[in-house]
Structure 1
Amino acid sequence: MQSTDTKPKVEQIQLLPGESFRLLRWHDNVHDVEAVGPDGKIHPFTGAGNEWHYHSQMELTLVTKGSGTRFVGDDITHFKAVDLVLIGPDLPHYWHGLHDSSGYAIQFDFETEHPFWQLQETQVLRELWKDAQRGIHFTGNAVSEIAKLIRRMPLSNGLGRFSLFMQILDLLITMPAGSRKVISSKTFIPPTSQSTYRGIQKAINFVFQNFQEELYLSDILKEAGMSKATFERQFKKHAGKSFTSFLTEVRLNFASRKLIETDLTIGEIAFASGFNNLSHFNHKFAEVHKQAPGVFRKKMKSS
């Protein structure tokens, strides 16, 4: 039996000396990745792009060759190069089936108190940062211009590379509204400015690590450090939906990936996803995907 363990992993991102953002590239798959230092030196390492993971940094990913299935938050989409996506902090994501491919990723962390935001010119970026909490997919003519700038980055250093990065951000915010599409629902990212963020984030992380098991609200409340009434009110405020709906979506997201990636039976996937009743799983799956699990699997595997 194939493994069903794809709980989101936390990726720890370390910047190299002399850089304020990290530039990555790959030439075949998102497991074998290179970090390109500001001095042009190459630092190979094992990437996490082919695993369900998240990190505190934002990430702009450009796929220049290849095709596969992109998972961002609760969204599942088939894609092919050229594909440009901006992922917000702590938003779970991964690329499935991205073999014989190439691309780049820029990872950066300009959190709320970062000196970056003291510059008046950066204020126009705040809306982009907000939308990125749900992930943004970019299309249109500007994508090819951004791709050219990203390809120049490994050959640049210092202020030259930083200037290219600023040009990229400028192109992202000046794109027509029709060329920017928010990817995920508000499931995964509560606003960091809220005082209850830590408690809600602990609850979300607890779900990510334990959704395959039977979960009790008392355990969730203990993680969040809140009363039942406060937790239910604050969770819906931050996540845009009830905790029960969030948990169901996480489990269905996992089940969707297993339907695509494995040959496990629908019953095995249902129970491995945390559902203890097959008919309930089938009902919830059809409610979200507008089709039965078996139909979904057949369509996704044949596309």
Structure 2
Amino acid sequence: MKPILIKNSSSPNHSFSIEERISPHFSVPYHFHKEYELTAILKGQGSRFVGNNIRSFENTDMVLIGKNLPHHWHNDKDSDVPSDGVQAIILKFDSDFNGVRLFDLPENYQIRKLLDKAANGLRIYGDTFTKLVSLMQSLLTATGPDRISLLLKILQEIAVSEELEILSNDGYVPKTKDNESDRMNRVYEYIMTNYLGDISLAKAASVACMNEAAFCKYFKKRYTKTFIQVVNEIRISYACRELMKDDSNVTEVCYQSGFNTFSNFTKTFKKVTGTSPREYKTKLKKLGN
């Protein structure tokens, strides 16, 4: 999937931006930008794409995204959207604050190390998530020097936290300087429209205006995963959310997720999540009790 470049601009009175978004659905496409980004999802569920990592998400999802790292939050279907929409707080900042390299100061060495790690994307969870949401909500209305101090406090909280998960693997290198056509965006749309039903390598190659062999090479070079791996991970992301429902049936979820055989579903599910779908469902029930 080839991301698009989004150019952001801050207010003349602010060196970085923060906003709260409440909308019917996640509408920003698969994209990248030169700023760092901290996104907190307060309401909504679907699939999250960060680099070459694909996982399901629900409320209380938070990710720190490095410079030029492609990312996207996606609602799989209308029923995934809460009746009152989705809600997120998005903080964006650069390493250069109008010529002031704040993070290069010796006192901020932990933050500087954190931003290096953010190149692969970092999921933030647990008590750290709760603390950060409170700080981000305060930052939404802060003015003057309080904005800078809150930004530093947010980043320092992440820097010292152990409640972090690295998302994209080390082998992934964003192809953000690729000036080719939007063929991978067309492939992305094809995948997200059809992954629960009939989807084929031949059709994806056709959408990209390539033969199958060339397409496979092209796709893996840009995503470090095969076309089938990506489709299966999106399907498993969907299956995980379906299994969270109390009345869900593992066999039904298998076929609802686009798999034709239960054995392939189980094998793929375990490869992606490290556990079988039945074990996953059992663990969820225990957590709910």
Contact 1:188 1:204 in 2 (8 A): no
Identity of aligned residues (%): 17
Deviations 1:216-252, CA, capped at 9 Å, x for gaps: 2232123323343332123222222211111111111
1:92 paired residue number: 73
SS at structure 1 position matched to 2:266: helix
2:116 paired residue number: 127
Quote the offset at 1:261 in angstroms.
Answer: 2.3
Contact 1:15 1:22 in 2 (8 A): no
Aligned length: 251
1:156 paired residue number: 142
Q: State the alpha-carbon separation in 2 of the partners of residues 292 and 234 from structure 1.
A: 32
1:61 paired residue number: 40
Contact 1:91 1:189 in 2 (8 A): no
SS at structure 2 position matched to 1:92: strand
Deviations 1:60-109, CA, capped at 9 Å, x for gaps: 3287xx9x9996443468998xx853256533368x9x9xxxx9722448
Q: Which residue identity is paired with 1:254?
A: Y
1:279 paired residue number: 263
Residues 1:137 and 2:118 are matched in the alignment: no
Q: State the alpha-carbon separation in 2 of the partners of residues 215 and 194 from structure 1.
A: 26
Quote the offset at 1:258 in angstroms.
Answer: 0.8
Contact 1:72 1:183 in 2 (8 A): no
Structure with the greater relative contact order (CA < 8 A, sep ≥ 6): 1 or 2?
Answer: 2
Quote the offset at 1:141 in angstroms.
Answer: 8.1
Which ranges in structure 1 are unaligned for 5 or more consecutive residues?
1-13, 25-34, 36-44
Q: State the alpha-carbon separation in 2 of the partners of residues 186 and 281 from structure 1.
A: 27
Label 1:70 to 1:302 Cα distance change in 2 as closer, same or farther (>3 A). Answer: farther
Q: State the alpha-carbon separation in 1 of the partners of residues 249 and 230 from structure 2.
A: 24
SS at structure 2 position matched to 1:181: strand
Deviations 1:161-211, CA, capped at 9 Å, x for gaps: 6524652575378x2595643135689995323345843343233212210
Which ranges in structure 2 are unaligned for 5 or more consecutive residues?
1-7, 105-111
Label 1:239 to 1:282 Cα distance change in 2 as closer, same or farther (>3 A). Answer: same
Deviations 1:114-156, CA, capped at 9 Å, x for gaps: x969847279687355222xx4326898985x56643432442
1:300 paired residue number: 284
Q: State the alpha-carbon separation in 1 of the partners of residues 118 and 72 from structure 2.
A: 13
Residues 1:230 and 2:230 are matched in the alignment: no
Q: Choose the corresponding residue for 2:236, options 248, 252, 262.
A: 252
Residues 1:21 and 2:5 are matched in the alignment: no
Cα RMSD, aligned residues only: 4.8
Q: State the alpha-carbon separation in 2 of the partners of residues 172 and 297 from structure 1.
A: 33
Residues 1:265 and 2:249 are matched in the alignment: yes
Q: Which residue identity is paired with 2:19?
A: L
Residues 1:220 and 2:199 are matched in the alignment: no
